[in-house]
Structure 1
Amino acid sequence: MKPYRSSGILWITLSLFLASFLTVLRWDLLDHNWSSFALISEGNVSATFDNPEIRTYAHSGYDGQFYYAIALSPLETVAKTIKNPLKLSKLESQSHQGVRIDNPVLRAKRIGYPLTAWAISGLGKEGVLPFILVLLNILCIGLGTAACFLMAKSFNAPPVYCLGSLLFIGAWMCLYRDLADQMAMVLALFALFFLFREHLWSFSAFGIAAMLTKETVVFLLLGGVVSYGWAFFRQYRYGKSAILLAPFLVYFAWSFVLSWNDHSTGTLLKHFDWPFFGMGKGFLQSPDPILWWVAIIPVLLIALESSWHLWKHPSKIGKPTSLIFLFNFGFAIIMSCAIYEDPFSFARNVLPLQYAGLLLLLDQKKRVSWLTLFASILGVAFYLRSNILYA
């Protein structure tokens, strides 16, 4: 047991060191300015915003700018979102945050990451908040390795495969753009870890936190809930089945409250299409076909390897890790061109599928093919070299 635990500590430490080292390199290239990671657009900054230490860009920026805006004052943002989300999305109304929030209801639903940063930074102190947003994702790289290590240990798989989480481009993109996806994945993985041990209250707590960080983890949780919930139901353990619903019920309640005065038609449907149509159209419209293939090939390989394993062993389809993978596979293939045309967008949106594939292979196959690992290593190396380690 001790050698296994020692190897886990080694891999987790290595992950944290690697993430810290590459982040410092990026920080150095960005003139030692932590706010550069948020990619705040000049067009989203109000005239009243006066903080020369915050770096802005001439382009449209990225989603990290909205997490930064919420993290300055999450409680005030939530209150204003409930009261009048349309007013909050207008640039002239940004007297406090200074950064316009494009879709207040959607962004406030994902409160976990900015709320945590706000709390750790001393209730949103502007001098340290940009660093804290980055630091949280460094820690989540290490915690992702830790969660995968615990899973590998429980599946009796080689512990070195816990480093598989370092081979997902989306995880690194979250680190370098102040995004919430990796944090949500970590919380969901720990929720599943507790579910597999039938620690249901712990599952619910981590599941709620995951859903309130990024709702795209829903199918990671749902696969486990369907498997265990059905087993509990057949055993007449209805109370245990009910506990498993807490993450989804809390998320729906939170969404309902935030949407109380939201009269917009929403943008949900534009993110879905017929199976594989969005992927194909995304490739044809992608502004960077090379990066598109670099990002998609590792995803396809781990999905194909997992699917082939289930094809050869149909009796295992009912297992929790099988359902988790199948639910996320189904979700990934119906995502629309709006997601797949941008490699940076789909790389993080397919993180649940990659983690689901890794869990299935560790649980049922005890290993991941060298081809999948090699392609993933090359993909991450290319991404880091071409998109991170340059100013």
Structure 2
Amino acid sequence: MFSFFKRKKPQPQPEAVDLPADVPEIAPVAPTELPPEALTVSLDAPDTAADVPVDAPSPDLVADAPDAAAPEQVPPPDPWSQAVDASGDPLARLDQAAEPDTGSWLTRLRRGLSRTGQNLGGLFVGVKVDETLFDELETALIMADAGVEATDKLLTELRARVRKQRIDQPDAVRAALQDILTDHLRVLEKPFVVGEAAPTVVMIAGVNGAGKTTSIGKLAHALQARQATVLLAAGDTFRAAAREQLVAWGARNGVTVIAQEGGDPAAVAFDAVNAGRARAADVVLVDTAGRLPTQLHLMEELKKIKRVIGKADAGAPHEVLLVVDGNTGQNALAQIRAFDAALGLTGLVVTKLDGTAKGGTLAAVAAGSQGVRPVPVYWIGVGEGMQDLQPFVASEFAEALLDNR
């Protein structure tokens, strides 16, 4: 679900604000226009990590989208085909130009959740509607990481409906469970609104490997498809692969990327908000470095980034999203609880649901299991393609979760 309120342009420039004491004053940056054929850039960085100050100066790179008026050129080979990450392993190709037609979104969602669907939906084939069926459903829901609270709630409502409506066919029981699950998940369904702020600043956090940078690239694509102008901020300043990967996503989507090698990620975020306002962008997506909730000093750094964004724009960040790996199951609840306590989350992006047997995790989030607040789920991902990140719709998710095809 997506809501877009197009603001009137141009917007008057706000008065300058003072930086907080823990962030250096940032001089205006003259954007460096990259040629259309460039996907990577050379960054001026200190020779060693020891030379990088805690509070680095303003970002020294602005990677702009290719000029639409430039003459058409043959694209160069994708630099990511030979790129490697810090461990020496090849990085996943980002090129989505040759994506096959994989059908409708609901078809892809069903395919992505097929393992969970077979475990749950398969229980309703050739069985009697008796207590044995409910016992097997209980086991399957818990194995799908729906959690004890959500499982008890769902089955209590299902038993009551079966008795009241005298349902005696397994397909009818499955349909009843789908309706109950849809109502249960609806608390997580919320439209992502763009246009109420100028620009809408979105801060994105998550643990290492959850898929933040890839999700940001896909979000930029989705927002542009809905007529929003986007600017990206490479706030993961200490991992070169993350910065360069975001620059490549920016080039592929044709959007501007504010990036810097080394330095203070809060300064990058501050500069990106000001650049987004100066360029009349609708959305500024701020990437941050992955971290575990137990790394307290890194969690404090996240809080600082949020404070500094607020100095650049008094109402920002307007959205604070946590990217969660759908394969982590119940461990996702601990992540949501910790990041919510530190940042005050406004939404979730749940990735890597394709092939998971733990699709019931969102039912646990909706039930408030383990003290987790039911944070809205804006987007879910079921694949590597550009189109495989879509808004969360409770009815579609419940249908796919119980589909045994």
Which has the larger share of strand? 2
Judging by fraction of residues, say which structure has more helix: 1
User: Which has more radius of gyration?
Assistant: 2
Query: Do Structure 1 and Structure 2 share a fold, with TM-score over 0.5?
Result: no
The structure, 1 or 2, with the larger RCO (C-alpha pairs under 8 Å, 6+ apart) is 2
- TM value normalised by structure 2: 0.27
TM-score by length of 1: 0.27
